[in-house]
A and B are shown apart, each in its own frame.
Chain A
Amino acid sequence: MKHLRTEPRLADPDALYALLMEAHRGLDDAASRRLDAKLVLILANHIGDAEVLRGAIALAAGRRNSEA
């Protein structure tokens, strides 16, 4: 069973952060939410592992992974 990886993995986190900010620039609240929702769906499909996704949702919701 695969687990959610939480160690740092990105070579250039600042660049990714900037990309996200750029994508949201000029969008109203609803459009921003839609963009984030699309991102989640696209990445979820790319990950394709329900266990990992469950762990990620639990982590984002502020629960420890073991409680997921």
Chain B
Amino acid sequence: MRFPAAPPGPPKEAAPVVVAGGGLVGLTAALDLARRGLRVVLLDEDDQVSEGSRAICFAKRTLEIYGRLGLGQRFLDKGITWSRGRVFRQDREAYSFDLLPEQGHEYPAFVNLQQYYAEQWLVEACMATGLVELRWRHRVTGIENRPDGALLSIETPGGAYTLHAEWLLACDGARSFIRRAMGLPFEGQVFRDRFLIADVKMQANFPTERWFWFDPPFHPGQSVLLHRQPDDVWRIDFQLGWDADPEAERDPARVRARVAAMLGPGVGFEIEWISVYTFRCRRLARFRHGRTLFLGDAAHQVSPFGARGGNGGVQDADNLCWRLAAVLAGEAPEALLDGYDMERIPAAEENILHSTRATDFITPKNPAALAYRDAVLELAEDHAFARPFVNSGRLSRPWSGQEVAPDAPVLRDDTADWLLRHIGADGRFTLVAREVAAPALPGITTTLLADSPRPGALLDHSGLAAARLGLGPGEAALFRPDQVLAARLPATHAAPILAARDKALAR
């Protein structure tokens, strides 16, 4: 489906918030900002959602963010839910893991879904807000980053124009024009390896699990990853080695032969998408440059093993949008935006660390690295101690430097509900108080968590909510609008609660 190209903007146009890039991260940011009441202009050089399935593994935290943005159920309904991964060496299983052994969460460890579905829903949701102006086929060709915002030169099929973005969110991907035009170094490690993604449509008997092979009989000496997506589409990721010729490997006949060798004779399939890629792990030194802020792949890049690219980018948007909304509403100083750097740079570092370590395991750089990798895999078959060394990708988790509100089953007026739905849902700070009602606090939504039925309260019938929140009776947890814990404190004293809120707002 193609979206109509938008006409050029009026002369000397200014917009409070401009999002450059209508991919997963840009659309998520636009929707989050619009749900906070902000008008957003979104520029995208293309006129359709992404081609190919691209990012397919949506992690629990990302699903919770989409839950807050009103799209969670669509991911659950359409996506493929999985939590188990298996690792094979040659034709034997070396290791398996369960990413969410614990019950009592609305969202699973992972849902697999083609990125184009997520983007399509985000486009629809952005349009439904009435606050996002989606400008397709608007390509940024120049930027002047100034203290009062970014002056953008934009080309469209109907002519060029300039747009003054008072705030600019650069979500324009790994090859970000804005990053390059601003001359910002994007440094890190290059991995000398090539991979082939083949998304194939087939009726297959593989279970709904993540399967990873080292040195399988059908692709000797290299690794292979298999993932299930909706619509009977399967992601197969073949390691090719650095010497592979990317052009030759894109040849559909050659890809067919590789897939056929894997599936065996008599299994029919159609190829949906082919991509040959190399990758780097790198990031910008800072993500905030005055009133221009970088998100997602434009700010940091990781290897795909661990599903940390798309998830990391969505979590950037989650972290930034409430801050920008608070600053634009005059509720917080611009210094609140420095918190984005303070939190998302170490988060990106963590993603890069895990991604680099996984890549070092999957792509041994020298004979010693290969010997260790094979030693681990051989030992893992029979010895439990070796299995935690097996690294086929440590799958995306929220940044370890902060506590995100936990989910838990609760009852509201005898109806099954989830704790997390009541935290940040209205865009505000939320105070969850156990057993005692908190005083009325300006700008803070208060929620009573009760051990026994009480009108208007969330009933913690299983005790999981209090346990996961770490709250005793009379205690409360204050959460930021992005569901990150700001403080645990006594529920009944207003002054410390307001002070914690002010601190979280950089006041």
Chain A residue contacts of B385, Cβ below 8 A: 42, 45
| B386 x A41 contact (CB < 8 A) | yes
Query: By the criterion CB–CB under 8 Å, are A41 and B367 in contact?
Result: no
Q: A33 — which chain B residues lie within 8 A by C-beta? A: 367-368, 370-371
- A23 at interface (Cβ–Cβ under 8 A)? no
Nearest chain A CB to B122 CB, angstrom units: 43
User: A38–B375 contact, CB under 8 A?
Assistant: yes
- Is B379 a contact of A34 with CB atoms below 8 Å? no
Distance in angstroms from A68 CB to nearest chain B CB is: 20
Q: At the interface, yes or no: B376 with Cβ under 8 Å from chain A? A: yes
Residue of B nearest to A32 (CB): B371
Q: Are B389 and A34 in contact (CB under 8 A)?
A: no
Cross-chain contact A30 with B379 (CB below 8 angstroms) = no
Contact A38 B368 (CB under 8 A): no
By the criterion CB–CB under 8 Å, are B368 and A41 in contact? Answer: no
Query: Is there an interface contact between B371 and A41, defined as CB atoms closer than 8 Å?
Result: no
Query: In the complex the two chains form, is A34's CB within 8 Å of B368's CB?
Result: no
Residue of B367, B368, B371, B385 with most partner-chain A CB within 10 A: B371
Rounded to whole angstroms, the CA-CA distance of A38 and B374 in the bound complex is: 9
**A residues within 8 A CB of B371?**
30, 33-34, 36-37
Q: In the complex, which residues of chain A have a beta carbon less than 8 angstroms from the beta carbon of B372?
A: 37, 40-41
Chain B minimum-CB-distance residue to A45: B385
Chain B, Cβ-Cβ closest to A33:
B371
Taking the complex as formed, is B231 at the interface, i.e. its CB lies under 8 A from any CB of chain A? no
Interfacial chain B residues near A37, Cβ < 8 Å: 368, 371-372, 374-376
Chain B residues whose CB sits within 8 angstroms of the CB of A40 once the complex forms: 372, 375
A12-68 contacts to B, CB under 8 A, are 29-30, 33-34, 36-38, 40-42, 45
Write the nearest CB–CB distance from A26 to chain B, whole angstroms.
17
Residues in B neighbouring A45, C-beta threshold 8 A:
385-386
Closest to A37 in B: B375
Number of chain A residues whose Cβ lies closer than 8 Å to a Cβ of chain B? 11
CB distance from A48 to the nearest CB of B (A): 9
Give chain A residues whose Cβ lies under 8 Å from the Cβ of B379: 38, 41-42
- Determine the distance from Cα of A40 to Cα of B376 in the docked complex, in whole angstroms: 10
Chain B residues with Cβ under 8 A from A34's Cβ? 371, 374-375, 378
| Residues of chain B within 8 A of A29, CB atoms compared | 367
The answer to whether A30 touches B386, judged by C-beta atoms less than 8 angstroms apart, is no
A38 to B380, CA, bound (A): 11
Query: A41 and B374: CB pair below 8 A?
Result: no
Q: How far is the CB of A17 from chain B (nearest CB, A)?
A: 21
Distance A4 CA – B367 CA, assembled complex (angstroms): 28
**Shortest Cβ distance from residue A41 to the other chain B in the assembled complex, whole angstroms:** 6
Residues of chain B with a CB closer than 8 A to A30's CB:
367, 370-371
Q: Which residue of A lies closest to B367 (CB)?
A: A33
| Docked CA distance A45–B375 (Å) | 14
Q: Report the separation of the CA atoms of residues A33 and B385 in the bound assembly, to the nearest whole angstrom.
A: 20
Q: Give the CA-CA distance A37 to B389 in the complex, in Å.
A: 13
> Counting chain A CB atoms within 10 Å of each CB, which of B370, B374, B375, B378 scores highest?
B375
As a 0/1 sequence over residues 358 to 398 of chain B, the CB contacts with chain A under 8 angstroms (1 = contact) are 00000000011011101110110000011001000000000
Can you spell out 17 A-B residue pairs with CB atoms less than 8 angstroms apart?
A: A30-B367, A30-B370, A30-B371, A33-B367, A33-B368, A34-B374, A36-B371, A37-B368, A37-B371, A37-B374, A37-B375, A38-B378, A41-B375, A41-B379, A42-B379, A42-B385, A45-B386
Contacts A30-B367, A34-B378, A38-B378 aside, 14 further interface pairs with beta carbons under 8 A come to A29-B367, A30-B370, A33-B368, A33-B371, A34-B371, A34-B374, A34-B375, A37-B368, A37-B371, A37-B374, A37-B376, A38-B375, A40-B372, A41-B389
Which A-B residue pairs are the 9 nearest by beta carbons?
A: A33-B371, A37-B375, A38-B375, A45-B385, A37-B372, A37-B371, A34-B371, A34-B375, A34-B374
